[in-house]
Structure 1
Amino acid sequence: MNSKPTFLILLAVVGAFIGFPVFGGANNPAARPNIIVILADDLGFSDLSSYGGEVPTPNLDSLANHGLKFSQFYNTARCSTTRASLLTGMYPHKAGMGYLSGYAPEGARGTLSYLHERAVTAADVLSEAGYFTAMTGKWHLGFDRTPPQERGFQASLVLPAGGVYFPDQPPFNKRLKGPSKIYLNGEKMAISDPRLGDNWYGTDLWTDWGIRFIQQARQSQQPFFLYLAHVAPHFPVMAPQETIEKYRGKFMAGWSKLREARYQRQIELGLIDKSWPLTEISPDVPEWDSLSQQDKERFDHMMAVYAASIEHIDSSVGRLTHYLEEQGLLDNTLILFMSDNGPSAESGPNGVAAGNPLGGPDSRLVMGQSWASLSNTPFQLYKHYTHEGGIATPLIAHWPAGIEKPQNKGFETTPAHVVDILPTLVDISGAHYPTIYRNTEILPMNGVPLTPLFQGKSLSRNEPIFFEHEGNRAVRSDKWKLVSRLQGPWQLFDMTQDRTETEDLFADYPQIAQSMILQYEKWFQRDLVDQWIGPARPDSGGFWEEKQRRYDHRPSGNPTNQEH
């Protein structure tokens, strides 16, 4: 890849004299920022205390309060698909990951189960620009076909697909024989390998090795890009017992009262408008007061484990930022924090809580629809779906040297999407996004740089934001959102008046709706979206019906009503 034209050097020199900020180019390594992207797994929109949660997250809150915190940032509703978009700047189908790693139906255009050769990753692009590139955590992008060391990462400690929290943990997938495997720079080893240390907890392990890789970059005098992809708080949710015990008894008020409290805090924080109604919890979820004391204690224990896992994510961020500050690196390091999808309601209303002690290496904890309804406050639906509960995530951006933060600024309300991350990294680093890479023609990115927002300016986007996962579809265009579930009708919502998606305006604004449907159809064909062939999920997004059936997901398809 070629570096930016030499006029960037002249621009930097002029900028230094007249006092305006300039993002460093590839020919000016001293000015280029370091980059850390932190991805949580299945974290809900309201789980951080800066987004309304009751679990204290002081380190993330500090980054949010001294940087930018986004109120309308979107992911793609699922693990692999968000990871693909984050690293490539493309919608997942276009990058080859229209679904999870491991699923590639015959004849698919964009559901290939790996990142194909016409997509480059952030690590590819930044390593060519002189960055030291490293990754720790969950890969989930087709490890057999495209492991991280073959997609630009010079150093890595990764799990192919997550699921591991402790070194003595049995395989989460019962079909696996022997202990789970982890890969250090491509070398396969057991999770109990002594090179990883003793008695580690996964969230801390990824952070420790992330710091180690930063030290390698420092030794080679290179700016660094660290992609830190946590396993937490994805099922089977686990955490150290001493942390879990801190939260026992703190959730005995139940999901409905705690959800109402989060909703009120979100209004006070300015995250949501008080005119947006709090969505109702699914009728499948039992009323808290109808539960026995034993069941209440069981559910409280489940949430205590989840809270402990969030605390460890936050404390690991604190250790990382403390290290950066000690080394004099914090001011010129862009830190981005987000989640890969909405909270998991998989396993239905009651969740799964098995094993003793709960949250330990021999346990199995799946939060279920009840507590997911708390995590997604104030929205409806969850992971898998393209309603707000499935795709809305916190985004925190912290970069003292590069983000102009007005006094008393609240939330950044501009809609943005995970496809915008790589364009942002290219922009701030002065890297070059290629048209040809390894003798292969590269597809263009879909996203746009977020850097104008870093500078207090407005963001320009020349087309809507699009979504498709498992036949669930959506289009976000300015204040309008068009959305439908698999086999369901299109709905239209005004997101300035009703972000919780309670009042369908399709019949009131048919021309707007039809225009957005046409835009979706064109995108569907252009960006390699496949017709979804698979079962409809229950509201929880939980385990699929045993009897699968085919569904003809035409771009404008609506099996019940073509008009609506």
Structure 2
Amino acid sequence: MMQKIQLLSTALFLSAAALSPSFAQEEKIGEGKVSISWQESQPAYKTIYGGKKAPAGAPNVIWILIDDVGYGAASVFGGLVNTPNLDSLANNGLRYTNFHTTGICSPTRAALLTGRNSHSAHMGLFPSNSVRADYPGYDGKIPSEKATIAEVLNENGYATFQLGKWHLTPDEETTDAGPFTRWPSGKGFDHNYGFLGGATDQYKPDLVEDNEHIKPDGTHLNKLLADKAISYITRLKSKAPDKPFFIYWAPGATHAPHQVDKQWSDKYKGKFDAGWDIYREKVLANQKKLGTVPANATLSERNSLVKAWKDLPEEERKLFARFFEVYAGFLEYTDYEIGRVLNYLKETGQLENTAVFVSIGDNGASKEGTEYGVTTKTVAFGKDKVTRDEYRKLVLSEYDKIGTKDVITSANYPLGWAQATNTPFKYWKQDAFSEGGTHNPLIVFYPKGIKERGIRNQYAHITDIYPTTLKLVGLNLPEKVKNYAQAPLEGQELNSSFANPNAPTKHTQQYYTIAGSRAIYKDGWKAAAAHHPDYIDFAFFEGERKSIVSDPSKDVWELYNLNEDFNERNNLAAKYPEKLKELKELYESEAKKYNVYPLIDWDYAARIRMQQNAVVNDANIEKK
């Protein structure tokens, strides 16, 4: 019996050590000397058990990354979906109006957590087998030389917790057999609670706690995450009241499937009956009042794939309005659960010294719901032959299931709402060439450390949050993390803009690339090339898909002056060919520097899937 107890104690000790990289660290104290006698010897280092302490007075830090939210969705930036808790954060903090993500989920998450560009962090697309490629920018394996913020904070006295979506673990490593080096626990988090993939059912999530899958109990994932956040904080403070925490909170919301209890979606009944065209006009007016877009901004044209609301049949208008009532309820409910955690911190006296960063979206609004939306029986992502009329009837027949527990994991609103919630931009998620794919709201809130309030217009990128946080808590990037020499951070700190709305922009150039679509930003100028932007699975109707042009040399580049043209209304490529040439050359240089080449696109992904399945489905893809 005693042997069993000893073995159990040893296992628990090893488990705790594995989950806490800061359990014991070495600090060099000299050259050292080893002789036969201890009196004549001197160690070169000392071991610090329990890890280093955080800098005195260091704040708690919460990073919140909401999924698939366009610039014009949440009320905090002028949208028509109520987000009172985000509103409160912004009203008592800062709104960054010129903040950018990568254009899609895994690359944004890798860039955020490592402070390096997504291809530099080996996450040019996803870690899943179907789009992974054996090139440095696309192998889906974040290198140890580019440690996450959690690894750095954990080694410097912070408790670290991950909640929600991860989507950074290669497929073959997502079972309970591990290895766990690319799970959250292997990337610096003491504890994690959420899901490893890109999407999950909100009521039956593919739930993971620490290093094992667990069975969900039917509670909505938003509530589970908020409950767990409060539990982590409570438990930490009961044992180590002076130890600060870092929480990376990435809800499944508002990625598909759009699921929420009717008490939330029914709050919006009838509120979107005027449709997406009127929605865009109202939101632009709100944005101008708030100052989140320039006063001279005008709406981009309605995308050619989106019909005018007034031209839709009455039954389709009713259907599409319901899709967005559900989405709005889903987003407001997400805001509510965020508010529960913030209120807990306020009630326990911890909010004042907590820095909160909220990226409202990891990319623009999702185009993946296609023309009619996706529910349960509807065809998604071009897998089956079906006529347009058959598809339409399927969706209409499932009106009452929209937003419920019965929908599938790709359940999503129609494309018209993606453009509406991206107001005032063109295009959407995945389209890295467009502000609509990469331009998201950012909120920064820190009562103790940021006294200024209001709007900040400095250009910023998702990689900037890492160095900004390090400076805020009083740390520098270590030379080594877990004995791996660290590559420099590629983001720039925003701290100088906290107190000074006119502080110069530090992040002056940035490339973007997702699946071949690409852009380069430099001092307010932007050159961009779309790479089959209409690859939205529309052409599964009648069993066909639009042809894909995979040759990037045939892509047409456009040029914009974003200093004067906030949402890319005026293509200046013909007027300033030398500026376009300069920017294209800069993109070429950046692409080589950050492992962007070769350009892995959806055509490549489709071919890989065909090889893996050993089945060529002519209805799935046709290539010239």
TM-score interval w.r.t. the shorter chain?
0.7 to 0.9
Counterpart contact for 1:149–1:155, Cα < 8 Å: yes
Counterpart contact for 1:4–1:27, Cα < 8 Å: no
- The one-letter amino acid of 2:351's match is L
**Deviating more after overlay: 504-513 vs 390-399:** 504-513
> What is the TM-score of this pair, normalised by structure 1?
0.85
Counterpart contact for 1:535–1:548, Cα < 8 Å: no
- The one-letter amino acid of 1:153's match is F
Matched, 1:485 2:530: yes
Aligned mate of 1:211, from 219, 224, 230: 230
Counterpart contact for 2:165–2:252, Cα < 8 Å: yes
Judged with a 3 Å threshold, the aligned counterparts in structure 2 of structure 1 residues 519 and 499 are, in CA distance, closer, same or farther, namely: same
Q: In structure 1, what is the equivalent of residue 33 of structure 2?
A: none
Q: CA deviation at 1:3?
A: 12
Moved over 6 A (4+): 1-5
Counterpart contact for 2:323–2:414, Cα < 8 Å: no
Give the secondary structure class of the aligned counterpart of 2:151.
helix
Counterpart contact for 1:72–1:414, Cα < 8 Å: yes
Q: In structure 2, what is the equivalent of residue 404 of structure 1?
A: 451
Q: In structure 2, what is the equivalent of residue 141 of structure 1?
A: 168
> What is the TM-score of this pair, normalised by structure 2?
0.77
Q: In structure 2, what is the equivalent of residue 346 of structure 1?
A: 368
CA–CA separation in structure 1 for the residues paired with 2:300 and 2:510: 24
Matching of residues 51-130 of structure 1 within 5 Å: 51-103=77-129, 105-130=132-157
Counterpart contact for 2:460–2:507, Cα < 8 Å: no
Q: In structure 2, what is the equivalent of residue 464 of structure 1?
A: 509
Judged with a 3 Å threshold, the aligned counterparts in structure 2 of structure 1 residues 297 and 214 are, in CA distance, closer, same or farther, namely: same
**Deviating more after overlay: 135-144 vs 33-42:** 135-144
Judged with a 3 Å threshold, the aligned counterparts in structure 2 of structure 1 residues 3 and 398 are, in CA distance, closer, same or farther, namely: farther
Give the secondary structure class of the aligned counterpart of 1:133.
strand
Q: In structure 2, what is the equivalent of residue 18 of structure 1?
A: none
Q: Percent identity?
A: 32
CA–CA separation in structure 2 for the residues paired with 1:309 and 1:47: 12
Matching of residues 311-330 of structure 1 within 5 Å: 311-330=332-351
Counterpart contact for 1:101–1:140, Cα < 8 Å: yes
Q: CA deviation at 1:279?
A: 0.5
Q: In structure 2, what is the equivalent of residue 252 of structure 1?
A: 273
Matching of residues 269-348 of structure 1 within 5 Å: 269-338=290-359, 339-348=361-370
Give the secondary structure class of the aligned counterpart of 1:297.
helix
Judged with a 3 Å threshold, the aligned counterparts in structure 2 of structure 1 residues 3 and 320 are, in CA distance, closer, same or farther, namely: farther
CA–CA separation in structure 2 for the residues paired with 1:431 and 1:118: 18
Q: Deviations over 1:272-326 (max 9, x none)?
A: 1232220111122222222222211111110011001111111112211111111
CA–CA separation in structure 1 for the residues paired with 2:375 and 2:603: 25
Matching of residues 228-247 of structure 1 within 5 Å: 228-247=249-268
CA–CA separation in structure 2 for the residues paired with 1:50 and 1:459: 25
Judged with a 3 Å threshold, the aligned counterparts in structure 2 of structure 1 residues 326 and 292 are, in CA distance, closer, same or farther, namely: same
- The one-letter amino acid of 1:528's match is N
Counterpart contact for 2:306–2:416, Cα < 8 Å: yes
Q: CA deviation at 1:403?
A: 1.2
Judged with a 3 Å threshold, the aligned counterparts in structure 2 of structure 1 residues 285 and 106 are, in CA distance, closer, same or farther, namely: closer
Counterpart contact for 1:343–1:382, Cα < 8 Å: yes
CA–CA separation in structure 1 for the residues paired with 2:195 and 2:306: 34
Q: In structure 2, what is the equivalent of residue 527 of structure 1?
A: 594
CA–CA separation in structure 2 for the residues paired with 1:48 and 1:281: 20
Q: CA deviation at 1:344?
A: 0.3
**Deviating more after overlay: 203-212 vs 382-391:** 203-212
Q: CA deviation at 1:357?
A: 2.8
Judged with a 3 Å threshold, the aligned counterparts in structure 2 of structure 1 residues 106 and 496 are, in CA distance, closer, same or farther, namely: closer
Judged with a 3 Å threshold, the aligned counterparts in structure 2 of structure 1 residues 549 and 529 are, in CA distance, closer, same or farther, namely: farther
Q: In structure 1, what is the equivalent of residue 394 of structure 2?
A: none
Judged with a 3 Å threshold, the aligned counterparts in structure 2 of structure 1 residues 27 and 439 are, in CA distance, closer, same or farther, namely: closer
Aligned mate of 1:267, from 274, 288, 294: 288
Q: In structure 1, what is the equivalent of residue 471 of structure 2?
A: 427
Give the secondary structure class of the aligned counterpart of 1:434.
coil
CA–CA separation in structure 2 for the residues paired with 1:504 and 1:4: 56
Give the secondary structure class of the aligned counterpart of 1:190.
coil
- The one-letter amino acid of 1:546's match is N
Q: CA deviation at 1:85?
A: 0.5
Q: CA deviation at 1:463?
A: 4.9
CA–CA separation in structure 1 for the residues paired with 2:367 and 2:154: 38
- The one-letter amino acid of 2:163's match is T
Counterpart contact for 2:461–2:507, Cα < 8 Å: no
Give the secondary structure class of the aligned counterpart of 2:214.
strand
- The one-letter amino acid of 2:343's match is H
Q: In structure 1, what is the equivalent of residue 496 of structure 2?
A: 452
Judged with a 3 Å threshold, the aligned counterparts in structure 2 of structure 1 residues 515 and 223 are, in CA distance, closer, same or farther, namely: same
Q: In structure 2, what is the equivalent of residue 439 of structure 1?
A: 483
Counterpart contact for 1:435–1:444, Cα < 8 Å: no
Q: Deviations over 1:71-128 (max 9, x none)?
A: 1100000010000001000001111111012146554121012322222001100001
Give the secondary structure class of the aligned counterpart of 1:136.
strand
Q: CA deviation at 1:334?
A: 0.6
CA–CA separation in structure 2 for the residues paired with 1:276 and 1:545: 42
CA–CA separation in structure 2 for the residues paired with 1:97 and 1:149: 19
Q: In structure 1, what is the equivalent of residue 520 of structure 2?
A: 475
Give the secondary structure class of the aligned counterpart of 2:97.
strand
Aligned mate of 1:516, from 578, 583, 605: 583
**Deviating more after overlay: 384-393 vs 498-507:** 498-507
Q: Deviations over 1:331-368 (max 9, x none)?
A: 11111111100000114222213455321111142113
Give the secondary structure class of the aligned counterpart of 1:92.
coil
Q: CA deviation at 1:327?
A: 1.1
CA–CA separation in structure 2 for the residues paired with 1:38 and 1:521: 33
Judged with a 3 Å threshold, the aligned counterparts in structure 2 of structure 1 residues 431 and 217 are, in CA distance, closer, same or farther, namely: farther
CA–CA separation in structure 2 for the residues paired with 1:4 and 1:309: 48
- The one-letter amino acid of 1:413's match is N
Q: CA deviation at 1:465?
A: 1.5
Counterpart contact for 1:134–1:156, Cα < 8 Å: yes
**Deviating more after overlay: 386-395 vs 204-213:** 204-213
Q: In structure 1, what is the equivalent of residue 212 of structure 2?
A: 187
Q: CA deviation at 1:165?
A: 4.3
CA–CA separation in structure 2 for the residues paired with 1:462 and 1:375: 27
Matched, 1:377 2:413: no
Matching of residues 7-18 of structure 1 within 5 Å: none
Counterpart contact for 2:133–2:139, Cα < 8 Å: no
Q: CA deviation at 1:546?
A: 2.8
Q: CA deviation at 1:469?
A: 0.9
- The one-letter amino acid of 1:426's match is L
Counterpart contact for 2:479–2:485, Cα < 8 Å: yes
Q: Deviations over 1:221-270 (max 9, x none)?
A: 31000001011111111111221111121110010011111111112222
CA–CA separation in structure 2 for the residues paired with 1:535 and 1:112: 15
Aligned mate of 2:413, from 354, 359, 367: 367
CA–CA separation in structure 2 for the residues paired with 1:58 and 1:101: 35
Counterpart contact for 1:336–1:395, Cα < 8 Å: yes
Q: In structure 2, what is the equivalent of residue 395 of structure 1?
A: 442
CA–CA separation in structure 2 for the residues paired with 1:360 and 1:135: 27
CA–CA separation in structure 1 for the residues paired with 2:348 and 2:515: 45
Judged with a 3 Å threshold, the aligned counterparts in structure 2 of structure 1 residues 123 and 459 are, in CA distance, closer, same or farther, namely: farther
CA–CA separation in structure 1 for the residues paired with 2:127 and 2:88: 35
